[in-house]
């Protein structure tokens, strides 16, 4: 199976987008197709790659039939960006102007009879012929009940009953409304695009002692690039020369500049503020941080929120229901109750004009995409509208301890030796025993020893997951780790009470010393947990591989409701499964993204903390926080609530206005002028309201 991406340049009709998606999914050989109306991208999973050309050709025919002006462009995974500015061009504006002038002539010169009818008909043909042709084509293709069909029937009906001005007016103002709707949609798209447009335009490649300006895609791992003051860092790499301060806000949302020295990692999207930097490239452009972020944000709309899916289904049934209701209004009272047919036909045509569901179909995805775009600007990457909406339903949050609640930077704070064994001997043995370990606690012990380690003294090294290490040092069997590894070897330990992590040291079957390694709480974590709880969270839980007593003390300090300690990785998954079963709402897990991948993947919403450049975190989680600040979880929840509020406002406003005008139209109190407002006017207001989702306080 292979995924193909098709760009649909000039697509401004959300209803047509929904139909294109539906018809593409019905093609034999297509496993799944998702059309993102905001980015104008159709993602198609094709089962057999050798059939892809024929299937893509079929998709192009579907698009041509529904939207003749839309151009289909095959895109690669490097994402080409189209620069179309909507369907309506100069030719369409000229049509609107000419039709508008003809429309006012009969009124200005008080024309009557044939001359009046002829001018209105000319005005109608100029402005409406394209819509009528499209309606007929769609009708023969089995795609009735779209806005072209509704406008055609309503306006031709108005002409039939002698309401020429209103027939022309509806078509004219519908086209004007479509023009402004196109502008509003494009404005929204541009606002979102500019908000997340952190893509660097070029790279200064050092080649044969000269600087060459190249596309970042042409730079490779091991190349050297120069980043001048004021320029964006184009690719991820390590500084090999120079010192500067960089603005990381594009990536992390942090406004405070960061000082960069030789040996420090810089990420694509950072902006160099001061000095000249020479950087050794460590990742290809397609694997760089900026590419990952753009890919996540631009593709987030393909994972639709339940509200979006509901509106799509609702629109599918809503329009036919309104059409048949209009038919009943136009026929039943005159045929069975003897009322005037022209009066009730007019009411039916008003009904038809109102029935287009564009306001909902456009504004809802724009609202969610605005929320996702705004969140990315503050360093919170949300991988889909479903996860953004899902944040509103979370009532339990489970936290990992190390790297999430605490800094994960361990320091040796106490060393005890028993009997004739000194503290210096204990730290030396422990450093030798942990010299092969990548665990933060092991590294902190090696750092505390601070001397060169002779690895020739170490043999038979073995790491025991979740317990510690075992090795032979100078011919002695050395055990280093928690209480469990000593119990497995039938060695009794002298237990120690401490808020830090206790590391026991054993030699030849005896406990000879203890090391205390402490991990600091993150700054503002107590306040951050309070803020998270204030967002409607009923229960907070912490899971830790640390000693239970230590974990409980940390939990009490920061205000966590329930704490589990002494957990191996598999224990975390088991306990998390139990929490999921016992909780009615959604459960979110917040972890550091690498060691917690199984739990992140199992959670209703997995949130990876401090995942700057971490592939494992981005892969396993649903939301990625680009810094290690737990406070961003509360910000993400606020954004989710604000987005939901805007989307709900749009639904209530659009449906409310339509239902009121439908009722007024049915009872003869609304004209086609009100009906046009209920269609295109409501759409424009709802779209502009959606833009507010971009604003993050």
400 is catalytic: yes
Helix, strand, coil tally for the chain in percent (to 5): 50, 20, 30
Query: 586 forms bridges with which residues in the sheet?
Result: 394
CA angle at 508 for the pair 506 and 512, rounded to the nearest 5°: 35
- The helix (H) or strand (E) run that includes residue 397 is strand 394-400
For residue 295, the tally of other CB atoms under 10 A from its CB is 15
Q: Give the span between the Cα atoms of 590 and 555, in whole angstroms.
A: 15
Structure tokens at 668: 């003869």
Q: Give the span between the Cα atoms of 202 and 218, in whole angstroms.
A: 10
Largest Cα–Cα distance of the chain, in whole Å?
A: 119
Of the candidates 636, 498, 631, 635, which has an alpha carbon nearest to the alpha carbon of residue 558?
631
Cβ neighbours for 539, distance < 8 A, ≥ 6 positions apart: 395, 396, 397, 561, 562, 583
Query: 513 forms bridges with which residues in the sheet?
Result: 417, 505
Decide if 77 contacts 18 (C-beta within 8 A). Answer: no
What region, left, alpha or beta, does residue 42 occupy, with left being phi > 0 and alpha being psi -120 to 50 degrees? beta
Query: 74 forms bridges with which residues in the sheet?
Result: 6
Where does residue 346 rank: exposed (0-12), middle (13-18), buried (19+ CB within 10 A)?
A: buried
Structure tokens at 672: 């086609």
Query: 656 forms bridges with which residues in the sheet?
Result: none
Structure tokens at 400: 């990992």
Q: Give the span between the Cα atoms of 225 and 247, in whole angstroms.
A: 18
Structure tokens at 693: 């989702």
Q: Which residues of 351-389 are buried (b: 16+ CB within 10 A; e: fewer)?
A: bbbbbbbbbbbbbbbbbbbbbbbbbbbbbbbbbbbbbbb
Backbone phi, then psi, for 413, in 5-degree steps?
A: -110, -15
Q: Using DSSP, state whether 578 is helix, strand or coil.
A: helix
In the block, residue with structure tokens 């806005």: 147
Structure tokens at 208: 């044969």
CA distances from 58 to 30, 55, 455, 514, 613 (A): 11, 5, 65, 71, 39
Decide if 434 contacts 444 (C-beta within 8 A). Answer: no
Cβ neighbours for 80, distance < 8 A, ≥ 6 positions apart: 7, 73
Strands 244-247 and 271-272: antiparallel
In the block, residue with structure tokens 């987030």: 300
CA angle at 410 for the pair 404 and 411, rounded to the nearest 5°: 150
Decide if 360 contacts 314 (C-beta within 8 A). Answer: yes
Decide if 363 contacts 687 (C-beta within 8 A). Answer: yes
Of the candidates 492, 82, 158, 560, which has an alpha carbon nearest to the alpha carbon of residue 349?
158
Dihedral angle sign, alpha carbons of residues 172, 176, 179, 185:
negative
Query: 476 forms bridges with which residues in the sheet?
Result: 473
Name the active-site residue from 146, 236, 400, 604: 400
Catalytic residues: 400
């Amino acid at each position: 199976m292979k995924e193909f991406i098709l760009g649909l340049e000039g697509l401004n009709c959300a209803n047509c987008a929904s139909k294109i998606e539906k018809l593409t999914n019905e093609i034999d050989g297509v496993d799944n197709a998702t059309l993102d109306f905001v980015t104008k991208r159709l993602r198609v999973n094709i089962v057999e790659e050798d059939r892809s050309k024929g299937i893509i050709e079929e998709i192009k025919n579907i698009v041509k039939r529904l939207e003749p002006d839309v151009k289909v462009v095959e895109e690669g995974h490097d994402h080409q960006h189209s620069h179309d500015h909507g369907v309506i061009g100069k030719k369409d504006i000229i049509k609107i102007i000419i039709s508008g002038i003809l429309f006012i002539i009969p009124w200005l010169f008080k024309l009557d009879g044939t001359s009046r009818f002829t001018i209105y008909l000319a005005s109608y043909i100029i402005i409406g012929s394209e819509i009528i042709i499209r309606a007929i084509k769609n009708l023969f293709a089995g795609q009735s009940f779209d806005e072209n069909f509704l406008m055609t029937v309503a306006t031709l009906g108005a002409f039939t009953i002698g309401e020429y001005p209103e027939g022309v007016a509806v078509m004219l103002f519908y086209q004007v409304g479509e023009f402004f709707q196109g502008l509003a949609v494009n404005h929204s798209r541009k606002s979102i695009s500019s908000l997340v447009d952190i893509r660097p335009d070029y790279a200064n490649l050092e080649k044969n002692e000269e600087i060459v300006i190249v596309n970042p895609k042409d730079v490779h791992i091991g190349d050297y690039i120069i980043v001048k003051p004021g320029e964006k860092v184009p690719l991820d790499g390590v500084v090999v020369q120079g010192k500067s301060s960089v603005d990381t806000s594009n990536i992390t949302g942090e406004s405070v500049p960061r000082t960069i020295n030789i040996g420090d990692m810089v990420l694509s999207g950072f902006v160099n503020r001061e000095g000249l930097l020479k950087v050794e490239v460590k990742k290809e452009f397609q694997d760089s941080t900026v590419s990952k972020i753009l890919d996540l944000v631009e593709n987030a709309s393909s994972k639709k929120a339940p509200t979006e899916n509901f509106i799509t289904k609702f629109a599918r049934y809503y329009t036919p229901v309104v059409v048949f209701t209009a038919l009943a209004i136009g026929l039943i009272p005159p045929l069975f109750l003897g009322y005037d047919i022209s009066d009730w036909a007019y009411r039916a045509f008003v009904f038809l004009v109102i029935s287009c569901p564009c306001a909902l179909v456009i504004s809802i995805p724009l609202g969610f995409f605005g929320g996702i775009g705004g969140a990315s600007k503050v360093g919170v990457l949300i991988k889909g509208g479903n996860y953004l909406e899902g944040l509103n339903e979370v009532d339990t949050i489970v936290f990992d301890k190390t790297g999430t609640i605490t800094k994960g930077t361990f320091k040796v704070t106490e060393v005890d030796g028993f009997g004739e064994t000194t503290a210096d001997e204990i730290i030396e043995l422990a450093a030798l025993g942990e010299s092969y370990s990548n665990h933060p606690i092991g590294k902190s012990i090696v750092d505390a020893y601070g001397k060169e380690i002779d690895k020739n003294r170490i043999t038979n090294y073995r790491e025991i997951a979740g317990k510690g290490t075992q090795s032979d040092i100078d011919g002695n069997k050395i055990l280093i780790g928690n209480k469990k590894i000593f119990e497995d070897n039938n060695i009794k330990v002298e237990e120690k009470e401490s808020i830090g992590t206790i590391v026991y040291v054993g030699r030849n079957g005896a406990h000879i010393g203890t090391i205390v390694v402490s991990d600091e709480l993150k700054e503002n974590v107590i306040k951050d947990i309070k803020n998270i709880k204030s967002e409607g969270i009923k229960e907070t839980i912490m899971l830790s591989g640390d000693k239970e007593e230590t974990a409980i003390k940390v939990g009490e300090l920061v205000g966590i409701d329930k704490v589990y300690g002494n957990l191996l990785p598999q224990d975390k998954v088991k306990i998390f499964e139990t929490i999921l079963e016992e909780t009615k709402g959604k459960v979110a897990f917040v972890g550091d993204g690498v060691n917690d991948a199984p739990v992140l993947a199992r959670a209703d919403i997995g949130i990876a903390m401090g995942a700057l450049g971490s592939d494992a975190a981005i892969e396993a989680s649903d939301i990625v926080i680009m810094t290690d600040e737990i406070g961003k979880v509360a910000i993400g929840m606020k954004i989710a609530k604000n987005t939901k509020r805007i989307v709900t406002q749009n639904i209530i406003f659009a449906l409310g206005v339509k239902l009121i005008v439908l009722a007024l139209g049915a009872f003869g109190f609304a004209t086609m002028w009100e009906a046009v407002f209920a269609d295109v006017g409501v759409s424009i207001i709802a779209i502009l309201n959606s833009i507010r989702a971009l604003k993050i306080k």
